[in-house]
């Protein structure tokens, strides 16, 4: 039951609201400075705190625009296009006019609690948005958002409880990033830079490699379509790594082709646009058996590598279970003895070449035939097997961490409305967290 200390407020009564701005883009002296400049693309990935931005501005750009710098800990909400994305600043930043900066009024609203409060109220913001082309919220929108607030001490405790979950999620994400960097570094060393071959040519033992593994690599190079490659290895078309499968979209005009539960997960590029993990098990909607039978949609088994082939090119994920995709993908089902990780890293290494072979006036797309013909490295089978063995343990750790994060996100999103409404109190939530953290 909610404490009698909770009070009802209109949101704009307890926050200071700041507008953003964009320096003139044609003025080079306004850009590339040491002031981070935040846009929605910098914080649309469900991470609470943002530390880095794609672009930055100079002090001159700040002075000659409506942009202003917010403090560390202030909150930013997207206000146009995708309404309701929320982040908290990990350092002072400026931001563009498609966002509002918010700061809880001292003694009334804790900033971290404000972050979670906005996430709790995102539906209210979307319901109050307007615009024929882009959804938009204005300063007036904040006058229509009613909130229930406990005392500031309890706000801080609630925010700390929810932050524990977000901090653990972020830690797992950093660990997974490190594991992925390790796998990519090994791939690059063996199959791009050919470090073991170079070492043997120079009469050295390849670093970090036992004699049995070193024996899998030749000690000389030969010329190829991709330049000098280890002797005995070869270059071939991408389709020799596995089956290249295009996606499909069953008719949305026919009832019964799509469902929220059951069926086969149907992945779109949009599903991967904000997807933080490497692995995917579901999209925003599923295809029913009926929809599957009445379309050219193909099932992609666990271990398939999804690769978006249009608007934009290059989103990637690995299927954790049977999935299917829309027509914006050219996915690869790895061939026998090739391995998911080798296919994944080869596609990652080939992004620029794939993009260069895409065509289109409105948006670029690579065709199935062009995708299949992309030249790739085809190492010896024993070297491929050794690579799979090395990265297999890393992959399992990544899967486990992503699975743990999925559970933590579910728990956080379950506790959020209950804590924000006073349905449960902090001690109850802490008891729940002790069982999972």
How confident is the model at residue 434, as a pLDDT?
Answer: 87
Q: How many angstroms separate the CA atoms of 148 and 9, rounded?
A: 6
DSSP string, 129-152: -B-SSS-B--GGGGGG-EEEE--H
Contact 261, 341 (CB under 8 A): no
Q: How many CA atoms lie within 13 A of 431 on its CB side?
A: 4
Average pLDDT, the chain: 94
pLDDT > 60? residue 402: yes
pLDDT > 90? residue 81: no
Determine what percent of the chain is predicted with pLDDT higher than 70: 99
How confident is the model at residue 414, as a pLDDT?
Answer: 96
- Max CA pair span of the chain: 79
Taking residues 253-274, report their average pLDDT. 91
Taking residues 178-204, report their average pLDDT. 96
Q: How many angstroms separate the CA atoms of 259 and 241, rounded?
A: 33
Q: Per-residue pLDDT tens for 330-369?
A: 999 999 999 999 999 999 999 999 999 999 878 899 999 9
How confident is the model at residue 45, as a pLDDT?
Answer: 81
Which residues have C-beta within 8 Å of that of residue 302, sequence separation ≥ 6? 319, 320, 321, 322
Q: Could you tell me the residue ranges of all domains in the chain?
A: 7-149, 234-378
Q: How many angstroms separate the CA atoms of 74 and 82, rounded?
A: 20
pLDDT > 90? residue 311: no
Which residues have C-beta within 8 Å of that of residue 413, sequence separation ≥ 6? none
Taking residues 169-196, report their average pLDDT. 96
Taking residues 280-287, report their average pLDDT. 94
Q: Per-residue pLDDT tens for 3-42?
A: 567 999 999 999 999 999 999 999 999 999 999 999 999 9
pLDDT > 60? residue 125: yes
Taking residues 162-168, report their average pLDDT. 96
How confident is the model at residue 391, as a pLDDT?
Answer: 96
- pTM here? 0.88
How confident is the model at residue 208, as a pLDDT?
Answer: 87
CATH 3.90.220.20 fits 7-149, yes or no: yes
How confident is the model at residue 273, as a pLDDT?
Answer: 85
pLDDT band at 223 (very low <50, low <70, confident <90, very high): very high
How confident is the model at residue 192, as a pLDDT?
Answer: 96
How confident is the model at residue 4, as a pLDDT?
Answer: 63
Q: In the β-sheet with 93-95, what is the strand arrangement from edge to edge?
A: 55-57, 31-38, 93-95, 69-70
234-378 and 7-149 share a CATH fold? yes
Lowest mean pLDDT across 19-23, 44-48, 100-104, 218-222 = 44-48
Q: How many angstroms separate the CA atoms of 268 and 78, rounded?
A: 23
Fold of 234-378: Adenine-n6-DNA-methyltransferase TaqI; Chain A, domain 2 (3.90.220)
């Amino acid at each position: 039951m909610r404490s009698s200390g909770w009070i009802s407020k209109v949101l704009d009564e307890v926050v200071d609201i700041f507008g953003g701005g964009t320096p003139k883009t044609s003025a080079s002296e306004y850009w590339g400075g040491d002031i981070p400049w935040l846009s929605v693309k910098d914080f649309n990935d469900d991470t609470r705190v943002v530390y880095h931005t794609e672009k930055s501005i100079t002090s001159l750009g700040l002075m000659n625009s409506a942009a202003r710098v917010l403090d560390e800990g202030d909150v930013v909400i997207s206000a146009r296009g995708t309404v309701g994305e929320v982040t908290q600043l990990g350092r002072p930043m400026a931001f563009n006019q498609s966002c509002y900066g918010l700061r809880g009024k001292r003694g009334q609203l804790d900033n971290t609690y404000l972050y979670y409060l906005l996430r709790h109220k995102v539906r209210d913001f979307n319901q109050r948005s307007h615009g024929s082309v882009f959804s938009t919220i204005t300063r007036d929108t904040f006058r229509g958002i009613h909130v229930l607030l406990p005392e500031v001490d309890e706000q801080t405790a609630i925010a700390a409880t929810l932050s524990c979950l977000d901090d653990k999620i972020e830690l797992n994400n950093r660990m997974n990033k490190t594991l992925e960097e390790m796998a990519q570094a090994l791939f690059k060393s063996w199959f791009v830079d050919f470090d073991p071959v170079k070492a043997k040519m120079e009469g050295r033992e390849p670093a970090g490699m036992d004699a049995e593994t070193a024996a899998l690599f030749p000690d000389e190079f030969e010329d190829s379509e991709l330049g000098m490659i280890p002797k005995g290895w070869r270059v071939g078309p991408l389709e020799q790594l596995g089956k290249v499968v295009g996606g499909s979209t069953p008719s949305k005009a026919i009832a019964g082709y799509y469902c929220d539960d059951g069926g086969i997960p149907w992945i779109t590029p949009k599903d991967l646009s904000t997807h933080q993990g490497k692995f995917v098990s579901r999209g925003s909607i599923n295809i029913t058996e009926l929809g599957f039978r009445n379309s050219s949609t193909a099932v992609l088994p666990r271990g398939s590598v999804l690769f978006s082939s249009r608007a934009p090119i290059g989103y990637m994920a690995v299927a954790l279970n049977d999935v299917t995709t829309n027509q914006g993908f050219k996915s690869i089902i790895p061939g026998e003895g090739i391995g998911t990780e080798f296919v994944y890293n080869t596609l990652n290494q080939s992004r620029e070449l794939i993009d260069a072979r895409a065509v289109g006036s409105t948006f670029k797309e690579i065709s199935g035939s062009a995708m299949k013909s992309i030249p790739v490295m085809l190492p010896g089978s024993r070297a491929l097997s050794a690579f799979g063995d090395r990265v297999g343990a890393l992959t399992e750790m990544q899967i486990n961490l992503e699975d743990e994060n999925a559970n933590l996100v579910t728990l956080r999103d379950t506790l959020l409305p209950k804590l924000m409404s006073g349905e449960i109190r902090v001690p109850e939530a802490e008891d729940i967290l002790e069982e999972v953290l």
